Amino acid sequence: MKSDITKVTTHINPNEALIFERSQPGRVGYRLPPLDVDEQPISEIVPREFLRDDDLDGVPEVSEVDVIRHFVRMSTWNYSIDQGMYPLGSCTMKYNSRLNEKVARIPGFAALHPLTEAEDAQGALEVIHDLQEDLAEITGLAGVSLQPAAGAHGEMTGVMIIRAYIDARDGAEASAKRRTMLIPDSAHGTNPASAHLSGFSVKTIRSTTEGLTDLAHLRELCAGGDVAGLMLTNPNTLGLFETNIQEICRIVHDAGGLVYMDGANMNALVGVARPGDMGVDVIHLNLHKTFSTPHGGGGPGCGPCCCTKELEPFLPVPRIVKEAGQFKLDFNYPQSIGRVKAFFGNYGMMLRALAYIQTHGNDGLREATEAAVLNARYVANGLTSDYEKPFSAPPMHEVVFTDKRQTRKGVHTLDIAKRLIDYGFHPMTIYFPLIVQGAMLIEPTESVGRQELDQFIDAMRSIAREAVEDPDLVLNAPHSTRIGRLDEAAAARKPVLRWKPKQAAFAS
Amino acid sequence: MKSDITKVTTHINPNEALIFERSQPGRVGYRLPPLDVDEQPISEIVPREFLRDDDLDGVPEVSEVDVIRHFVRMSTWNYSIDQGMYPLGSCTMKYNSRLNEKVARIPGFAALHPLTEAEDAQGALEVIHDLQEDLAEITGLAGVSLQPAAGAHGEMTGVMIIRAYIDARDGAEASAKRRTMLIPDSAHGTNPASAHLSGFSVKTIRSTTEGLTDLAHLRELCAGGDVAGLMLTNPNTLGLFETNIQEICRIVHDAGGLVYMDGANMNALVGVARPGDMGVDVIHLNLHKTFSTPHGGGGPGCGPCCCTKELEPFLPVPRIVKEAGQFKLDFNYPQSIGRVKAFFGNYGMMLRALAYIQTHGNDGLREATEAAVLNARYVANGLTSDYEKPFSAPPMHEVVFTDKRQTRKGVHTLDIAKRLIDYGFHPMTIYFPLIVQGAMLIEPTESVGRQELDQFIDAMRSIAREAVEDPDLVLNAPHSTRIGRLDEAAAARKPVLRWKPKQAAFAS
Amino acid sequence: MRYIPNSPEERTEMLHQVGLNSAADLFDSIPEDLRLARNLNTTAALSEIELLAGFEQLAARNTGAKRTSFVGAGAYQHYIPTIVDHIISRSEFFTAYTPYQPEIAQGTLQTIFEFQTLVCQLTGMEVANASMYDGSTALAEAVLMAERVTKRSKVVACGAIHPEYLEVISTYVQHAGIELLHAPNHPETGQASDARELLDDKTAALVVQSPNFFGCIEDVAALAEKAHSVGALLIVAITESISLGLLKSPGASGADIVVAEGQSFGVPLSFGGPYVGLFATREKYARQIPGRLVGEAYDKEGRRGFVLTLATREQHIRREKATSNICTNEGLIALAATVYLETMGRRGLQEVAAQCAQKTAYAAKRIGELQGFSIPFTAPRFNEFVVRAPLAAKQLLSRLALERNITGGLALSRYYPDQPNEILVCVTEINSRAEIDALVEGLASQATM
Amino acid sequence: MRYIPNSPEERTEMLHQVGLNSAADLFDSIPEDLRLARNLNTTAALSEIELLAGFEQLAARNTGAKRTSFVGAGAYQHYIPTIVDHIISRSEFFTAYTPYQPEIAQGTLQTIFEFQTLVCQLTGMEVANASMYDGSTALAEAVLMAERVTKRSKVVACGAIHPEYLEVISTYVQHAGIELLHAPNHPETGQASDARELLDDKTAALVVQSPNFFGCIEDVAALAEKAHSVGALLIVAITESISLGLLKSPGASGADIVVAEGQSFGVPLSFGGPYVGLFATREKYARQIPGRLVGEAYDKEGRRGFVLTLATREQHIRREKATSNICTNEGLIALAATVYLETMGRRGLQEVAAQCAQKTAYAAKRIGELQGFSIPFTAPRFNEFVVRAPLAAKQLLSRLALERNITGGLALSRYYPDQPNEILVCVTEINSRAEIDALVEGLASQATM
Ligand SMILES: Cc1ncc(COP(=O)(O)O)c(C=O)c1O
Ligand SMILES: Cc1ncc(COP(=O)(O)O)c(C=O)c1O
């Protein structure tokens, strides 16, 4: 189905200086009620030597109108989900419901202090408890902690749990010999980084030419007896389901290790298959992906950690439990790895995720998964004629292509990505996973309609044509944005990480 | 002070079809709770012949995501106050406070039914009462009705009050001879239209070369004895204060007429001078101008009518009055012109306006007036060297220029306005008032900072230069927008006022 | 003042730049004795904290807002999808002016074009305008338009039109030389009686509301035929627009002008406003329509856009000869209605309407069975109906409110002092069965006191 | 499902287009026995009406949210300008991803650059990152960074650091071969004691919180000097960032790394999150910073823009050798803090801080005068202080809540079972004099029972 490929045009767009360049002495954007207690000289409250002596020099002085215009103008420079398809592979950029935003702003939640006594926060604790139950059901893993603030935080939590479990199981000494974490070469960077944080050394597993975990290599690595565990993403970062997952878990378990699953790709599985049933011991979820809590330009996230009954005693404290109809904080888990974050984690995200789950309902959750996988399959289908698809297996929720054919004309993945911008699309994830040269990882999610998928396919095909007929057009893209490609190398060489008043700009 | 005149650049901007062109059978964007009463065959509730038989053919079927993207994309095609200066003369496009939006959405107001018994709506009625009192103080006119929905509605109300008053004063027969309403040639179109609605015939008063009401002509017209009143805008639509206002009122009063003031330009007077003190009998205010209730792309507005004690008995009913600390509806005004709108008027706008008044405070209201007039004076000062200023008197809150000098090169007001768009500004009001050939009416309001005023002045000057050096550049403007000038003549010749399915498009 | 960008210092500099010494000099053209020598006697400036606290306190005294309610009568509580408020809160929509410059106002213009189309589809008419103030003023404007179109001066209004709408018509037409006649309603059916004797060749229009003020669905087709038989127009007014999801469109029944209150389409009750008036008619009358119209247009490159059109009807060009004095209309509320209609969509509008009708039927049946209560009118109804109580309605309702925190309906005595015992009850998709049952119990308990 | 654009019909067509018969076929690569044969045992789909009603009911059971409160202890109630929520609710901000494509993400990038600058200005440091999860994890990362920078393995933490922060540090460092030592606080002053005996040439860092957990302002300069004298870094943690409006910046006092909880900057309490961690240090350590950094960059035409930079520190490039595993941070909350700081501005931040200090001084004075109550610590304070009560704090506080609907503070027994009678009281600009007086009366009445 051919579509009209002009998803965008160009239009006037406001310029805006840094707020510090806009600041004018004497402008104010706030008003407080007058102080209603008798004022004392401040130095009688705080000794001079502890008082600020720079008069907050440099902090901007602007009016409320200035602030509104400043941010509204800058906002128009962003692409966002609300403007269309955002096919960042591995990021699951799905629709962020307004309803969930409203729920998170209900005063009874938004104004609740985290140290409120449990009996005065029963509703808030019930939300945590209910979400824990739902996530346990969805993952097939009974133990859940919502404390981690993002995926990587959940990884650290999960890996520390593995370590604590093995310490307990084998005793410190034997456990000390198990300090290897196996991670596929296709894994996300946070996996090895999190393993390292937990004091593990990383060994990399090769992927097969089919894009799956190399069982032979896995067996070989497990033979050493030093393996504490495996961190596997499933579907993996190539968008492929690890068909041998059961066998993989068996191998690791037989070697005395545990299986950690990176749940960033759960949007391919919710309601269809459960990690717990596959033999996975512990997993993290990204509520800011699969469960649609807004990405907010980089966060906040929420990375719940779910594990088997066996591992439950090691979860962070406090646990939120239900006893005789009352919800309470339970600190009494002597084997716990401890606390990974102050208070309860990113609570506002929990409210949104629970609203997402309840709005979809059990059938809707499965429906979303099916729609997401179908959309990816549809794109895969539409692009194979023009782009190199390195793996033949049918993709799940995302699909990887490469720039192999385009490179002949000197056009690379980065250029294709930048050119997509001219067609009105946010580019896909590029150069990840690292094992695929010139990778283009495309994840449409369920939130895109067929017409826009067709527009995307047409745009990609058109770029493939351009790469042959007019490579420079692609190499110099984007052509329609307010700024062109920025010199990132120069930026990193002499980094300017903050504004400074002109005169001072050279100092330091 | 010279500024960087590039307020904007161009950037990608989404295209978007009509929702009807996006609609796909089977898509849904809503969900209701299941029906919880036993369902009967609908035809047992409503006879077939009264039931819809077209299955709502043509009404769109889209998902919630489609709707969000549809409107977010379209919204990016608009210029708005939040993006910058919006110098539409006579429209007072000032900052719309977010605080006021929040106030209007407080459930205790937003969920209140207009037919709630007074004792159950005391808070809502108190708001009306307090706003009435504040507006009476600001205008110096004791009687206030908030019922009119906009300025023109307030005009109709005020003029009908004048008529009812004269009927009562002179008796039907004598009154029937007073059916002339005097209106300056510079007046806004709604003035004569409203006079006509009230059964008056309009006689036009000339303006002097200084841009003020021609007293001689006024006297002459008043001599006829048929004058019911005068509708005067002050400051007038040229941005000039009618210095002879007292004399003008005297003349009209002596001739047995009443003076109506169009309060659209009150942003020049609030806290500085009061129409009541000038001899004005009745006035309307535009809360959606002077008191910053949002313009919303064309409304809603609120056009309170304020009048002297003498005219109060003729105001619309119900009146909101305070008796023994209780607020009640008073219908008992036998001389009232009657009701001009169902319920109480645009209540949500009243909440916002009262919040505006209380946030500014009495000193802040005057400060806003001073800042607004100063900004206009500053622009007037900055443009006189390049544009024809038809009137020498110092302008109040807005200033009129003409295209006289530019027309020599064939560049007209419309072209200058369109070219301003390329510089990132919303054009000023053009070709109004009608008496000024090629009028450009500029009202910056108090909501613009000096830097942006300088940008505006520089942009206008630059256009003046372009008009000489490269007229075509101006004649073909805008060059940076997603669409160019539209053929309005063709649109009016064969109007297409609604979408129709392609095939049907030709039928009718 | 935090809303004013320029600081006092900056303003002083600017004053000097324009050759003035003080802010007072800005007002030299105002005669000395007219300048206010004192501060306004309004409150001193409040901070956000103080201001919000104040309004919250006032809101708390609106006890009516917290009750389960069965009041309609021209303003209806319906479910409003969350996205409506989010979209109308976009800066680009709510802080824009009337779209006078199409190159930078297509967002507003295209949404109005969609609004006009939706209004046509729902009413079954050919053209609709960009909105009127509300249903009542739209009806008054329709009457004035009928007079312009037919050049006739008599207008016949069926009895059961919203009383406040009738008052507004009277105000609008009082100086237009229009004679307004009222046709009584049929005492059993509650529908418009045969108005034939009032109709003649001087009649400009027959005006009917359906469902009417008492909730009765009128036989619009029959009335259209009567009106047309004397060459008059049929004007149909609708206060509950949700009924359009279920009931035959006025257009399909022969109406010439259709006006409606659009509040039911995603607009909060907000103590009576802002709402939005819908105005639709036949294509042949397009140039007689009051208010703004948006039409399709093309630029030199043939790109489609939208513009305000047929402006020669309007006050800023025609002045006293304009089709109306309206200028600012209800733009943002029309946008809200557009978002609502597109979100609910074809199936949602049908389901909402069906649920209203089903729940109302249930409520009417149960109340009708109550000892001492009766339902006077026999005509088919949508989501409102009149209940005749065994005691004074005002008294009954205030007890219901006090004892059960339910607003049981509207005491018709507010408009019809001669009907002290009658209550106008409205049921929408918002009212759960439990709420309806509570109302029924409440009524029963009052009767047996 | 209304969030899924494609209708079932469209999806069936698409399935056929990709050569499949049913949705089930999409999952062929999942072994049969792993596929869930049943529906998930989660709730059935809810409408907006039902869902909102459900959450409103839950919210109503959070009785603590409705009380006048004097609890701080790491999460503070401050006035939040209305515009903050409006701006972070802009689609362009809250539905955007991490700014990986600068050409279409300058809105996010420039705001982060402003955030980094503001954090530097307030902390008195030279570089700041784009945010950490919260104050507690930021502190843990600071400790790990100190170890990297100094290649030393001992860390000394002053006693009065937020107990939950200490727990988080312990969790983070438990596998990093870091020895964590605790220096007791001075019993009279409440400030850090002379930790000199714990500091030596193996010490990577001295960690102090100021104002500390008990509200006492620490002598940061003196501690910096001690740390530096053994070649260790001084890490300063701040839980109440509003204090930066009044108190000398850690940078000016010699801190090497400053971390803070930014919740006080326009972020709702929201039962503990999402908040935002601030992380700042010296320029020379820039390449050791965890998390994202935004820097200035230029395009071919020399136009200024902003990009994510120094990525070689990060996990997606360095993997296990990265400075941290953090990827997603707290972007939108950092934006909220940026809007807050720019709205309050230079003068607003000073006034808020001053009001907190003044009201706290007033409260401390009045409570200190109460029969039976005492204020154990003598050190200067900002907006928190410890009160020693004549009875068990938990009991006293629950009575206050019950009888006066006031949450009088935090019972320190939650963290220090050996301090049953101590209450940590926090007063901010939100607490009116009347509220403070009510607290004082409440306390008095409890003492005399
Ligand atoms: C596969 C994978 N694992 C882990 C992560 C890390 O999650 P987060 O960014 O929430 O820390 C991501 C997200 O970027 C991911 O795509
Ligand atoms: C001078 C003047 N009078 C009257 C009006 C009419 O006000 P409204 O548009 O609110 O009906 C306007 C606004 O357009 C105006 O500028």
> CA nearest C74 in B: which residue?
B342
- Identify all chain C residues contacting A33, using CB atoms and an 8 Å cutoff: 47, 49-50
CA-based nearest distance B308→chain C, Å: 17
The Å distance, Cα D291 to ligand 1 centre, comes to 14
Contact A234, A245 (CB under 8 A): yes
Stretch 46-105 of chain B: residues touching chain A, C-beta under 8 Å: 63-66, 68-69, 72-73, 76-77, 80, 82-84, 95, 97-98
Q: Which pLDDT does position C195 carry in this prediction?
A: 79
List, in order, residues 6 or more apart from D419 with CB less than 8 Å away.
Answer: D412, D413
Regarding the beta carbon of A262 and ligand 1, being less than 6 Å apart is answered yes
Q: Mind listing the pLDDT tens digit for each residue in B69-101?
A: 999 999 999 999 999 999 999 999 999 999 999
d(CA B96, CA B91): 13
3-state SS, chain D, equals: CCCCCCCHHHHHHHHHHCCCCCHHHHHCCCCHHHECCCCCCCCCCCCHHHHHHHHHHHHHCCHHHHCEECCCCCCCCCCCCHHHHHHHCCHHHHCCCCCCCHHHEHHHHHHHHHHHHHHHHHHCCCEECCCECCHHHHHHHHHHHHHHHHCCCEEEEECCCCHHHHHHHHHHHCCCCCEEEEECECCCCCCECCHHHHCCCCEEEEEEECCCCCCECCCHHHHHHHHHHCCCEEEEEECCHHHHHCECCCHHHCCCEEEEECCCCCCCCHHHCCCCEEEEECHHHHHHCCCCEEEEEEECCCCEEEEEECHHHCHHHHHHHCCCCCCCCCHHHHHHHHHHHHHHHHHHHHHHHHHHHHHHHHHHHHHHCCCCCECCCCCCECCEEEEECCCCHHHHHHHHHHHHCEECCEEHHHCCCCCCCEEEEECCCCCCHHHHHHHHHHHHHHHCC
Weakest-pLDDT range from A247-261, C47-61, C305-319, C352-366: C305-319
Contact C270, C62 (CB under 8 A): no
Weakest-pLDDT range from A54-63, B379-388, C318-327: C318-327
d(CA D449, CA D445): 7
Residue A466 exposed, middle or buried by CB count within 10 Å (0-12, 13-18, 19+): buried
Q: 10 Å Cβ neighbour count for B129?
A: 19
Contact A412, A406 (CB under 8 A): yes
Q: Mind listing the pLDDT tens digit for each residue in B477-494?
A: 999 999 999 999 999 999
- Identify all chain B residues contacting D10, using CB atoms and an 8 Å cutoff: 24, 26-27
Q: Contact A64/C48, CB-based, under 8 Å? A: no
Is D48 within 8 Å of chain C by CB? Answer: yes
> CA nearest D346 in A: which residue?
A59
d(CA C307, CA C108): 10
Residues found in chain B: 508
Contact D46, A359 (CB under 8 A): yes
Q: Mind listing the pLDDT tens digit for each residue in D263-288?
A: 999 999 999 999 999 999 999 999 99
Whether the predicted pLDDT of C135 surpasses 80: yes
> CA nearest B77 in C: which residue?
C107
- Identify all chain B residues contacting D47, using CB atoms and an 8 Å cutoff: 31-33
Weakest-pLDDT range from C56-65, D81-90, D308-317: D308-317
The closest of D283, D266, D281, D246 to D342, measured between CA atoms, is D266
The Å distance, Cα A186 to ligand 1 centre, comes to 13
Q: Which amino acid, residue B59? A: V
- The rounded Cα B425 to chain-centroid distance in angstroms is 20
Element (H, E) at B330: strand B326-330
Regarding the beta carbon of A301 and ligand 1, being less than 6 Å apart is answered yes
Angle at D58 between CA D56 and CA D59, to 5 degrees: 60
Of B90, B93, B286, the residue with max ligand 2 atoms within 8 A of its CB, to mutate for a pocket test, comes to: B286
Is the ipTM above a cut-off of 0.95?
Answer: yes
Ligand 2 nearest-atom number relative to CA B288: 10
Query: Which of C3, C46, C47, C49 best tests the D interface by mutation, with the highest count of D CBs <10 A?
Result: C49
Phi, psi at A264, each rounded to 5°: -60, -25
0.95 surpassed by pTM: yes
Name the closest ligand to CA B157: 2
Nearest-by-Cβ selection for C82 from A25, A68, A98 = A98
Q: Which pLDDT does position B191 carry in this prediction?
A: 97
Regarding the beta carbon of B148 and ligand 2, being less than 6 Å apart is answered no
Q: Which pLDDT does position B508 carry in this prediction?
A: 38
Q: Which pLDDT does position A2 carry in this prediction?
A: 46
Q: How far is CA A62 from CA A17, A27, D130, D341, in A?
A: 13, 5, 23, 11
SS3 assignment, position B12? strand
The Å distance, Cα C327 to ligand 2 centre, comes to 7
For chain A, counts of helices (H) and of strands (E): 17, 13
SS3 assignment, position C317? helix
- The rounded Cα B152 to chain-centroid distance in angstroms is 8
C423-448 average pLDDT score: 95
Contact C422, C376 (CB under 8 A): yes
Name the closest ligand to CA A433: 1
Is B24 within 8 Å of chain A by CB? Answer: yes
Query: Which of B8, B10, B31 best tests the D interface by mutation, with the highest count of D CBs <10 A?
Result: B31
Q: What strand order describes the sheet that includes B399-402?
A: B399-402, B439-442, B429-430
Q: Contact B26/D8, CB-based, under 8 Å? A: yes
**Residue of the nearest CA to atom 7 in ligand 1?**
A151
Q: Which pLDDT does position D317 carry in this prediction?
A: 84
The dihedral built from the CA positions of residue D143, D146, D152 and D155, taken in this order, carries a sign that is negative
Name the closest ligand to CA C331: 2
Element (H, E) at B493: helix B488-493
Regarding the beta carbon of A144 and ligand 1, being less than 6 Å apart is answered no
Nearest-by-Cβ selection for C91 from A27, A72, A102 = A72
Of A88, A90, A284, the residue with max ligand 1 atoms within 8 A of its CB, to mutate for a pocket test, comes to: A90
Nearest-by-Cβ selection for D5 from B25, B63, B101 = B63
Q: 10 Å Cβ neighbour count for A71?
A: 30
The Å distance, Cα B152 to ligand 2 centre, comes to 6
Whether the predicted pLDDT of B224 surpasses 80: yes
Q: Contact C349/B59, CB-based, under 8 Å? A: yes
Whether the predicted pLDDT of B328 surpasses 90: yes
Regarding the beta carbon of A90 and ligand 1, being less than 6 Å apart is answered yes
Contact C244, C353 (CB under 8 A): yes
Q: What is the DSSP string of C386-428?
A: EEE-SS-HHHHHHHHHHHH-EE--EEGGGT-TT-TTEEEEE--
Contact A417, A430 (CB under 8 A): yes
Q: Which amino acid, residue A32? A: L
Contact D87, D339 (CB under 8 A): yes
List, in order, residues 6 or more apart from B34 with CB less than 8 Å away.
Answer: none
- The rounded Cα B146 to chain-centroid distance in angstroms is 15
Q: Which residues of D423-442 are buried (b: 16+ CB within 10 A; e: fewer)?
A: bbbbbbbbbbeebbebbbeb
The closest of D106, D66, D43, D149 to D407, measured between CA atoms, is D66
The Å distance, Cα A288 to ligand 1 centre, comes to 10
Count of C-D CB contacts under 8 Å: 15
Q: 10 Å Cβ neighbour count for B50?
A: 22
- Identify all chain B residues contacting D343, using CB atoms and an 8 Å cutoff: none
The closest of D171, D82, D75 to D410, measured between CA atoms, is D75
Regarding the beta carbon of B290 and ligand 2, being less than 6 Å apart is answered no
d(CA D447, CA D440): 11
Q: How far is CA D299 from CA B354, D108, D294, D305, in A?
A: 49, 18, 16, 7
Contact A281, A311 (CB under 8 A): yes
Helix axes A347-383, A122-139, angle to 10 degrees: 30
Helical H segments across B119-274, by residue range: 122-139, 151-176, 190-197, 215-223, 245-254
Residue showing tokens 């000073």? D350
Q: Which amino acid, residue D359? A: K
pLDDT < 50 positions in chain A = 1-3, 505-508
Phi, psi at C126, each rounded to 5°: -100, -35
Regarding the beta carbon of C316 and ligand 2, being less than 6 Å apart is answered no
Q: Which pLDDT does position A268 carry in this prediction?
A: 98
Greatest CA separation found in chain C?
Answer: 83
Q: Which pLDDT does position A4 carry in this prediction?
A: 55
**Residue of the nearest CA to atom 13 in ligand 2?**
B91
Q: 10 Å Cβ neighbour count for A217?
A: 18
Contact C104, B78 (CB under 8 A): yes
Ligand 1 nearest-atom number relative to CA A301: 10
3-state SS, A142-199, equals: CEEECCCCCHHHHHHHHHHHHHHHHHHHHHHHHHHCCCEEEEECCCCCHHHHHHHHCC
d(CA C68, CA C431): 8
